[in-house]
């Protein structure tokens, strides 16, 4: 059972392995929503995510015999690091099965805590099935990443900290993968103050809790293909589902494209790196009426590798018209390239890439193609640059921007 006594116990115990993640007031998001928006930066934890809370509390409830057999779990990355770090603190051996597509930073950090990493399967569910098989064969003690009431109790310590710091909170937004975090947070939040609204947020392409609520029981999705890899779970937990079903007030789904803009908002306005799953609660804010309300978005993790980060930034700049490409046709004669460059410069555009194609027409005197990729301040500025090119008689045609 999830009880207030256990939540209180867990909240004190996890302080041994967590860093204080004080609420961060977001002036930027508050202006957008006309409410008071706070961020719970679990991305700043030592392991880069909240998962260490549930892992450490779960291991603390085990017997010495269970720990001595060695621990095993499956994870897309954050629970892996949580278990590895917690196991290290207890002096236990830990084996972690991770999907083959897990970002390299999560694999390396998990290994850095002394755990053995086994890569298997394309998604969490594949890794979990293999971890259970190894547990049976080798006698390891399995630590479930979300479908465990002790793990959910440890995650619920987040709600305790939020309410202690902001007693008048109206909304708490939590990401949903398998359901452990939202179960712990929503159950404790309702115990502390039934008026608090707890909103779960899922990637639209992996909305396993939405499907479960609609069916009245956990169901298995056909796929969970999303850039929010930490929440790419096909089926929510059986044990935690009744609590989630009872205590979640609403579930919002978010498209992958919305996470890209949220990443830029966090980097530019808060100087924080938050992984895609942790950004679900930021992207969901615009779907709620928060005028005059106090809301906390839980940023569940920040373990994103640099290659993914680079791709997200590039797509975000293109998405917001801060990078765009145009094609213009020019006669192949001296001075035409200067004319185009001068027009763009006079409109305060910044050229970052040029492609000159002389073979677009058999008559080079009639036309060669120039493709220009440039920076702008946003959509309005892009339109100003396009108009300047049109006024110069260049008839620009917008094309998909590619930096590489």
> Which positions are catalytic?
51, 300
Distance CA 114, CA 278 (A): 26
The alpha-helical segments, DSSP class H, found in 248-333 are: 256-270, 280-283, 306-319
List of residues 6+ apart from 278 with CB closer than 8 A: 42, 43, 49, 175, 230, 298, 299, 300, 301, 302
Rg, Å, the chain Cα set: 25
Distance CA 205, CA 187 (A): 26
CB atoms within 10 A of CB 239: 17
Angle between helices 4-13 and 157-165 (to 10 degrees): 80
**Residue 301 DSSP one-character state:** B
List of residues 6+ apart from 383 with CB closer than 8 A: none
Distance CA 144, CA 58 (A): 9
- For 44, 142, 212, 218, 221, the CA distances from 215, given in Å and listed in that order, are 36, 28, 5, 7, 12
Angle between helices 379-391 and 336-346 (to 10 degrees): 140
CB-based burial, 361-375: b 16+ in 10 Å, e otherwise: eeeeeebbbbbbbbb
Contact between 94 and 87 under an 8 Å Cβ cutoff? The reply is yes
Q: Which of 148, 156, 150, 151 is nearest to 187 (CA)?
A: 156
Q: Which of 392, 303, 298 is nearest to 345 (CA)?
A: 392
């Amino acid at each position: 059972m999830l009880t207030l006594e256990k939540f209180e116990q867990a909240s004190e115990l996890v302080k041994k392995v967590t860093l204080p993640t004080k609420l961060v007031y977001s002036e930027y998001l508050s202006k957008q929503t006309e409410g008071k928006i706070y961020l719970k930066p679990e991305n700043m934890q030592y392991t880069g995510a909240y998962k260490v809370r549930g892992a450490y509390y779960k291991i603390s409830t085990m017997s010495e015999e269970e720990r001595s057999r060695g621990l095993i779990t499956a994870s897309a990355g954050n629970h892996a690091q949580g278990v590895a770090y917690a196991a290290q603190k207890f002096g236990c051996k830990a084996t972690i099965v991770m999907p083959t597509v897990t970002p390299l930073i999560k694999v390396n950090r998990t290994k850095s805590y002394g755990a053995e990493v086994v890569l298997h399967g394309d998604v969490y569910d594949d890794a979990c099935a293999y971890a259970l098989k190894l547990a049976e064969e080798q006698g390891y003690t399995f630590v479930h990443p979300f479908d465990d009431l002790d793990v959910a109790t440890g995650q619920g310590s987040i709600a305790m900290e939020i309410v202690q710091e902001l007693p008048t909170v109206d909304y708490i937004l939590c990401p949903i993968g398998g359901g452990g975090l939202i179960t712990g947070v929503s159950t404790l939040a309702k115990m502390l103050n039934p008026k608090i609204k707890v909103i779960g947020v899922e990637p639209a392409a992996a909305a396993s809790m939405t499907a479960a609520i609609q069916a009245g029981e956990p169901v298995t999705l056909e796929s969970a293909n999303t850039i929010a890899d930490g929440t790419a779970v096909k089926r929510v937990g059986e044990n935690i589902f009744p609590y989630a079903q009872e205590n979640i007030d609403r579930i919002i789904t978010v498209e992958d494209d919305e996470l890209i803009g949220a990443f830029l908002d966090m980097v530019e306005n808060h100087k924080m790196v938050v992984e895609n799953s942790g950004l679900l609660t930021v992207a969901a804010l615009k779907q709620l009426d928060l005028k005059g309300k106090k809301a906390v978005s839980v940023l569940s993790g920040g373990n994103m590798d640099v290659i993914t980060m680079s791709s997200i930034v590039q797509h975000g700049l293109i998405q917001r018209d801060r990078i765009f490409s145009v094609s213009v046709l020019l006669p192949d004669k001296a001075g035409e390239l200067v004319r185009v460059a001068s027009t763009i410069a006079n409109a305060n555009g910044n050229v970052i890439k040029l492609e000159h194609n002389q073979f677009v027409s058999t008559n080079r005197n009639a036309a060669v193609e120039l493709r220009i990729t440039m920076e702008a301040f946003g959509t309005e500025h892009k339109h100003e640059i396009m108009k300047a090119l049109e006024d110069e008689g260049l008839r620009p045609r917008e094309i998909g921007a590619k930096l590489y």
